[in-house]
């Protein structure tokens, strides 16, 4: 099962939506969803939103350089 953390509130400065994360990394949303499913990224859930930590995305970008 995925690494899933439920959130009671969200600070927009800390999270990307799946679509925003994909845009940031220059990949398709399905790739982000696969990373979440494969536990390569932590899934954050707020109500019906699936979110990704901006910190994790920035770290991912640094590893790609």
Domains of the chain plus CATH, in order, are 4-64 (1.10.1660)
Long-range pairs, 37-42, Cβ under 8 A, ≥24: 37/2, 39/2, 39/3, 42/3, 42/4, 42/5
Percent of the chain having pLDDT more than 90? 85
| Mean pLDDT across 38-64 | 94
- What are the distances in angstroms from CA 25 to CA 13, 37, 60? 17, 17, 8
Angstrom distance (rounded) from CA 46 to CA 18: 13
Angstrom distance (rounded) from CA 49 to CA 36: 13
Predicted TM-score (pTM) of this structure:
0.88
Q: Is the pLDDT of residue 65 over 80?
A: no
Cross-strand partners of 53: 15
């Amino acid at each position: 099962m995925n690494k899933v953390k439920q959130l009671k509130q969200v600070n927009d400065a800390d999270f990307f939506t799946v679509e925003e994360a994909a845009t940031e990394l220059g990949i398709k949303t399905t790739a982000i969803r696969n990373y979440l499913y494969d536990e390569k990224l932590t899934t954050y859930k707020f109500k019906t939103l699936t979110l990704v930590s901006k910190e994790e995305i920035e770290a991912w970008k640094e590893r790609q350089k």
